[in-house]
Each structure stands twice: as structure tokens, then as C-alpha cells.
């Protein structure tokens, strides 16, 4: 009987120890769960704040893009307006120069080095305007503008209004050029026709003859030839 009571007491103590241990472990697990829950809640709050910040950033970016679009449109309008004003100013300047007889000096002469660089990538080493020469046989001729660049002569003829007969006469002028300037006999000659404005029919005819065509544009004189045009070398 005493032995049975001892066994019951031992079992009771073991059960109490198990319950106590289980309670401690449960409290640990509960506390860990609560800490995890708090961490998760904090993470959710941080994610919410991040999403709000991202939304605000996207709104700001959209506003920035809208402002940039408006700025680009304003710049495009400004460029177009400036280009129109430049073209109109150059046209008026050309008309005034034509009345004063200084079209070559005011528009063509300043533009030739740029045009030659744009079309051939050559630097002009010598530039002459209104060169008049007389030969022993009695022939005399005035050349509007002559630009020397490496082994090329860029010969210009300027008319306030371009006509077919002027283009044909320019061919004769080119063919006689070496008679007046024998020192350039070995140079290749490229013809440049200039005018205040060039209509399509004159441009097409000049191109068939192999000439560059220039007229008043955004930057004084601009090339008006068809893209890809190759001039004749005389």
C-alpha cells in the first residue's frame, strides 16, 4: 500500500512538472508569435508608407512629364517662330541688298565657306568677289564670287531672279573660266547658282545642268537641291 502511494506521488510530481514545462514553452511560443505579429504589422505599415510614397512619386513624375511635354511644345513653337522670323528677315535683307546692288557681298559671300564645308567638307583658302578680268583678245568678264578650296574652284553666279537663260549663260561662264584664270587650269570647277528665291522649275533645270542651287533661307543662303544631289565637276 505504501509502495502504491509512493508511485502515485511520483506520477503526480511528474505530471505537475510536465504541466509546468508545457506552460513555460507555451508562453515562449505565444510571446514569439506576438513578436512576429508585431513585426508583421510594422512591415505592413512600412509597405503601406512605401506604396504611398511611390504613388506620390508617380504623381510627381506624371506632373514632371506633363511639364516637359509642355516645355517641348513651347520650344518647338519658339524654334518655328524664330525660323520664320529669320527667314523673313533674310528675305527682307536680300531684297534690300538687291536694290542696293550688294546681294553678292551681303548674302552670298558670307555663306560660301559654310555651304562648301556642308557639301564637301572643305575649308575655303581664298575667296574673291566681283573679280573682273580682261583678256588680250578683247573678252572681259566679271565673276560674282570665286572660292578656292584644295583642288576645287567653286564658282558662283548670283541673280535676284533666276531664269533659264541665266543658267545656260553660266555654263559658258564656267567653260571660259580657265581662259581668264590659267593658274587654276588643273582645278576642278563646281557651279553654284544663288538667288533670292528659286522655284521648283528653275531648281530642276539647274540640277539637270549639274549646279548647286541656293536661296535665302534660315541662315542667309541655304542649299535647295534635292537630297542626294551630286554636282557636275567641270
CA distances in angstroms from 232 to 104, 107, 176, listed in the order given = 23, 24, 16
Residue 144 lies in a domain: yes
Say if CB 233 and CB 190 are below 8 A apart.
yes
Note the pLDDT tens digit of each residue in 75-117: 776 566 666 666 666 556 545 445 444 667 777 888 899 999 9
pTM of the model: 0.59
Note the pLDDT tens digit of each residue in 197-229: 788 999 999 999 999 999 876 666 788 899 999
Which of 62, 84, 100 terminates a domain? The answer is 100
C-alpha cell at 33: 508569435
| Residues 128 and 88 occupy one common structural domain | no
| Residues 41 and 121 occupy one common structural domain | no
Q: Quote the pLDDT of residue 97.
A: 47
| Residues 132 and 214 occupy one common structural domain | yes
Residue 229 lies in a domain: no
Average pLDDT over residues 3-17: 62
Residue 120 lies in a domain: yes
| Residues 139 and 92 occupy one common structural domain | no
Q: Quote the pLDDT of residue 172.
A: 94
| Residues 75 and 106 occupy one common structural domain | no
| Residues 73 and 154 occupy one common structural domain | no
Domain span at 171: 102-223
Note the pLDDT tens digit of each residue in 165-179: 999 999 999 999 999
| Residues 22 and 95 occupy one common structural domain | yes
Which of 76, 100, 124 terminates a domain? The answer is 100
* Total structural domains within the chain: 2
| Residues 189 and 124 occupy one common structural domain | yes
CATH number at residue 180: 3.40.1350.10
Residue 231 lies in a domain: no
| Residues 78 and 131 occupy one common structural domain | no
| Residues 139 and 96 occupy one common structural domain | no
| Residues 122 and 195 occupy one common structural domain | yes
Residue 232 lies in a domain: no
Average pLDDT over residues 126-142: 92
| Residues 24 and 47 occupy one common structural domain | yes
Amino acid at each position: 500500500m505504501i509502495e502504491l502511494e509512493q508511485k502515485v506521488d511520483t506520477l503526480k510530481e511528474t505530471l505537475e512538472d510536465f504541466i509546468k514545462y508545457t506552460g513555460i514553452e507555451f508562453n515562449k511560443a505565444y510571446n514569439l508569435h506576438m513578436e512576429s505579429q508585431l513585426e508583421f504589422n510594422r512591415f505592413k505599415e512600412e509597405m503601406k508608407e512605401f506604396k504611398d510614397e511611390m504613388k506620390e512619386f508617380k504623381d510627381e513624375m506624371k506632373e514632371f512629364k506633363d511639364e516637359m511635354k509642355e516645355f517641348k511644345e513651347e520650344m518647338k513653337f519658339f524654334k518655328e517662330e524664330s525660323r520664320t522670323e529669320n527667314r523673313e528677315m533674310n528675305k527682307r535683307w536680300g531684297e534690300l541688298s538687291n536694290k542696293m546692288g550688294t546681294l553678292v557681298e551681303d548674302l552670298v559671300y558670307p555663306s560660301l565657306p559654310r555651304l562648301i564645308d556642308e557639301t564637301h567638307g572643305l575649308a575655303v583658302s581664298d575667296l574673291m568677289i566681283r573679280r573682273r578680268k580682261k583678256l588680250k583678245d578683247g573678252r572681259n568678264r566679271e565673276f560674282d564670287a570665286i572660292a578656292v578650296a584644295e583642288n576645287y574652284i567653286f564658282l558662283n553666279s548670283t541673280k535676284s531672279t533666276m531664269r533659264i537663260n541665266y543658267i545656260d549663260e553660266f555654263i559658258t561662264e564656267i567653260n571660259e573660266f580657265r581662259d581668264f584664270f590659267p593658274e587654276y587650269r588643273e582645278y576642278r570647277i563646281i557651279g553654284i547658282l544663288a538667288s533670292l528665291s528659286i522655284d521648283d522649275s528653275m531648281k530642276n533645270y539647274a540640277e539637270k545642268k549639274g549646279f548647286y542651287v541656293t536661296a535665302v533661307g534660315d541662315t542667309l543662303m541655304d542649299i535647295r537641291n534635292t537630297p542626294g544631289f551630286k554636282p557636275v565637276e567641270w
